[in-house]
């Protein structure tokens, strides 16, 4: 097997970086389309209220969001810049993983381009959510572990521990990644390194990085566990976890890349020249099994596919070297065509390129609802402001805005100040910590409820208006468009306010 060092031709990294830059520019050009996703609105609000923990996720993503607010303000494209950068970095790392697996320039390019073409990577680069950074940490870990395998330098365990800690500060599913890594280490010759202090120092470093959030969870009764159990039960009940295994064949990578990553997995498992890298196969299989048993959603395993795509690129490169030149030429053309088709499909369904309600919009809308949930927020807040401004000045001064979901609360806090609105009151997730204010409102504008939900409200409530989505896009807000005004509250806020947050 060729040494990774012999595969590092001059200019290889420069080509990977150039491709990543081209992709980054594409995201910068498109990421200002539509509007903030409801999840982004929650992250943005948490970024303004930094803490060592939040109900829905660990603190690293809001911290990065705070940095983006400082750099770019509330620019939509600016708020998504770090997510796009993370995915472009993952693309480069996929090429470097191929190099560590013994791949030459062609394998490195195939690996990087394949990762760039996956719908999951394209979509997560188009929204600022923890999935973008969780994906990056998995890929970075795979590269670091391969460096450890190839160079036998145990100091890499410190970097591995640091990244695991950052992963835990990003998303708790990093535990599934760690489980796969542990099994892979125990099942391969890498377990010999457990006799040295370096793996344990790395583990200690990961715990040290995670310690602030761990202490926050302890102080707050491990709210994350309650949140995860609630959201998981909801997902199972509405069928979001159905077909987990089947969706692994197409959801994260798309159908055109299926042969590449399956070939990579087969190479890792069966090829003699891949024996030293068999850890990666365990690293994929264990989280796959655990997510399936736990009834996880299909995209939870998406961060594991870049290393398989890289392995597939290396296996493909070696196979092409064994066939006749004429056949190899045709096969290379077929691979290039497959990559191009994968990228076109990925762009079509996962990038915000099409005008709202156009044919392109409907194509992506059939695949997912992410873009639909970005439409209508400024208009929604404007309509709430019209209700607020219709109140007499004396009553307006004692009026609060109660949001039943985090998207509405985040939208009010983002767009409301320009209309003179007070900050939102919401019991959902981390908005619950911010309470209902030192001066509890006596009149409340209620968002995100319906006549049935309002029927037992201890106040005199009346329908004020219904939200009209000017783009006629169906999303969560159009499913509960009613906006109510409630007066003469008969129970004090201190008794109404829940003892723990609602989960959403």
d(CA 24, CA 27): 5
**CA dihedral sign, ordered 415, 417, 420, 426:** positive
Question: Looking up tokens 């999303």, which residue turns up?
Answer: 475
What pLDDT, in 10s, does the model give residues 224-264? Answer: 999 999 999 999 999 999 999 999 999 999 999 999 999 99
Provide the pLDDT confidence category of residue 10 given band limits of 50, 70 and 90.
confident
In this structure, the answer to whether residues 327 and 386 fall within a common structural domain is no
- State yes or no: pLDDT of 1 exceeds 70: no
Q: Which domain holds residue 18?
A: 4-152+213-350
User: Does residue 76 sit within a domain?
Assistant: yes
At CA 109, angle to CA 105 and CA 115, rounded to 5?
150
SS3 (DSSP) at 403: strand
User: Does residue 363 sit within a domain?
Assistant: no
Strands of 404-504 (E only): list them. Answer: 424-425, 443-447, 460-466, 482-487
Partner residues linked to 482 by β-bridges: 466
What tokens does 132 get? 């973008």
In this structure, the answer to whether residues 344 and 259 fall within a common structural domain is yes
What pLDDT, in 10s, does the model give residues 388-419? Answer: 999 999 999 999 999 999 999 999 999 999 99
Q: Are 129 and 170 in contact (CB under 8 A)?
A: no
In this structure, the answer to whether residues 45 and 143 fall within a common structural domain is yes
pTM of the model: 0.96
CA 224 to centroid of chain Cα atoms: 17
- State yes or no: pLDDT of 3 exceeds 80: no
Q: Are 501 and 428 in contact (CB under 8 A)?
A: yes
Identify the H or E element spanning 490. Answer: none
In this structure, the answer to whether residues 391 and 434 fall within a common structural domain is yes
What pLDDT, in 10s, does the model give residues 277-287? Answer: 999 999 999 99
d(CA 405, CA 159): 39
In this structure, the answer to whether residues 318 and 421 fall within a common structural domain is no
The pLDDT of residue 9 is 76
d(CA 126, CA 407): 18
The pLDDT of residue 2 is 53
User: Does residue 177 sit within a domain?
Assistant: no
Mean pLDDT over residues 56-73, rounded? 98
The pLDDT of residue 141 is 98
d(CA 459, CA 163): 51
Q: Are 36 and 75 in contact (CB under 8 A)?
A: no
SS3 (DSSP) at 52: coil
In this structure, the answer to whether residues 59 and 146 fall within a common structural domain is yes
User: Does residue 180 sit within a domain?
Assistant: no
Higher pLDDT, 251 or 3: 251
- State yes or no: pLDDT of 320 exceeds 90: yes
The pLDDT of residue 419 is 97
CA proximity to 135, closest of 93, 96, 101: 93
Mean pLDDT over residues 71-91, rounded? 97
User: Does residue 64 sit within a domain?
Assistant: yes
- State yes or no: pLDDT of 457 exceeds 70: yes
In this structure, the answer to whether residues 119 and 227 fall within a common structural domain is yes
In this structure, the answer to whether residues 282 and 395 fall within a common structural domain is no
Choose the final residue of a domain: 350, 367, 394: 350
CA 306 vs CA 99, 285, 297, 315, 397: distances in Å: 13, 14, 18, 14, 54
Q: Are 343 and 116 in contact (CB under 8 A)?
A: yes
In this structure, the answer to whether residues 11 and 60 fall within a common structural domain is yes
**Average pLDDT across the chain, whole number:** 96
What tokens does 430 get? 């981390």
What pLDDT, in 10s, does the model give residues 156-205? Answer: 999 999 999 999 999 999 999 999 999 999 999 999 999 999 999 999 99
Give the rounded percent of residues in the chain with a pLDDT score beyond 70.
Answer: 98
Q: Are 492 and 441 in contact (CB under 8 A)?
A: no
Count of the separate structural domains present in the chain: 2
Q: Is 443 left (phi over 0), alpha (psi -120 to 50) or beta?
A: beta
In this structure, the answer to whether residues 338 and 258 fall within a common structural domain is yes
- State yes or no: pLDDT of 7 exceeds 70: no
In this structure, the answer to whether residues 231 and 298 fall within a common structural domain is yes
Mean pLDDT over residues 37-64, rounded? 98
User: Does residue 318 sit within a domain?
Assistant: yes
What tokens does 391 get? 């109140």
Within 10 angstroms of residue 306's Cβ, the number of other Cβ atoms is 32
User: Does residue 501 sit within a domain?
Assistant: no
Q: Are 91 and 23 in contact (CB under 8 A)?
A: yes
In this structure, the answer to whether residues 414 and 300 fall within a common structural domain is no
Give the rounded percent of residues in the chain with a pLDDT score beyond 90.
Answer: 97
- DSSP letters, 137-172, are HHHHHHHHHHHHHHH--TTHHHHHHHHHHHHHTT-T
In eight-state DSSP terms, residue 428 is B
Q: For 241-260, what is the HEC assignment?
A: CCCHHHHCCCCCCCHHHHHH
Q: Are 412 and 392 in contact (CB under 8 A)?
A: no
């Amino acid at each position: 097997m060729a040494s990774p060092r012999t595969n590092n031709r001059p200019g290889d990294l420069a080509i990977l970086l150039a491709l990543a830059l081209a992709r980054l520019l594409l995201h910068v050009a498109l990421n200002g389309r539509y509007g903030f996703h409801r999840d982004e609105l929650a992250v943005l609000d948490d970024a303004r209220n930094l803490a060592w923990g939040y109900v829905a996720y660990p603190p690293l993503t809001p911290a990065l969001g705070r940095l983006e607010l400082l750099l770019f303000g509330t620019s939509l494209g600016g708020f998504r810049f770090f997510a796009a950068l993370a995915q472009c970095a993952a693309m480069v790392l996929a090429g470097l993983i191929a190099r560590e697996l013994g791949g030459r320039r062609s394998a490195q390019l195939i690996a990087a381009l394949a990762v760039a073409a996956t719908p999951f990577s394209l979509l997560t680069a188009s929204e600022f959510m923890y999935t973008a950074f969780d994906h990056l940490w998995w890929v970075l870990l795979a590269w670091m572990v391969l460096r450890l395998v190839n160079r036998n330098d145990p100091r890499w365990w410190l970097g591995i521990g640091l990244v695991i800690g950052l992963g835990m500060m990003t998303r708790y599913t990093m535990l599934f990644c760690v489980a796969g890594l542990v099994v892979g280490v125990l099942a391969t010759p890498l377990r010999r390194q457990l006799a040295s202090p370096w793996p344990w120092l790395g583990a200690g470093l990961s715990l040290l990085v995670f310690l602030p959030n761990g202490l926050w969870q302890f102080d707050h009764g491990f709210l994350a566990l309650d949140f995860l159990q609630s959201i998981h039960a909801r997902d199972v009940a509405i069928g979001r976890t159905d077909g987990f295994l089947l969706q692994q064949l197409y959801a994260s990578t798309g159908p055109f890349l299926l042969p590449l990553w399956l070939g990579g997995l087969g190479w890792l498992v069966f090829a003699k020249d891949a024996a030293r890298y068999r850890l990666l196969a365990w690293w994929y299989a264990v989280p796959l099994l655990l997510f399936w048993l736990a009834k996880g959603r299909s995209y939870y395993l998406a961060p594991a596919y870049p290393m398989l795509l890289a392995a597939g690129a290396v296996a493909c490169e070696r196979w092409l070297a064994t066939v006749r030149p004429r056949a190899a030429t045709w096969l290379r053309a077929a691979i290039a065509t497959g990559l191009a088709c994968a990228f076109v499909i990925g762009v079509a369904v996962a990038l915000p390129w099409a005008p709202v309600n156009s044919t392109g919009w409907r194509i992506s809308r059939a695949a997912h609802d992410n873009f639909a949930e970005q439409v209508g927020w400024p208009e929604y807040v404007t309509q709430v402001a019209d209700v607020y401004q219709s109140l007499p000045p004396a009553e307006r001064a004692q009026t609060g805005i109660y949001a039943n979901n985090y998207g509405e609360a985040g939208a009010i806090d983002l767009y409301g100040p320009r209309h003179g609105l007070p900050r939102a009151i919401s019991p959902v997730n981390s908005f619950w910590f911010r309470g209902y204010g030192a001066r509890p409102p006596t009149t409340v504008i209620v968002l995100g409820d319906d006549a049935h939900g309002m029927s037992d409200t201890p106040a005199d409530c009346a329908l004020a208006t219904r939200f009209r989505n000017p783009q006629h896009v169906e999303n969560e807000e159009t499913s509960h468009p009613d906006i109510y005004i409630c007066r003469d509250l008969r129970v004090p806020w201190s008794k109404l306010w829940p003892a723990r947050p609602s989960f959403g």
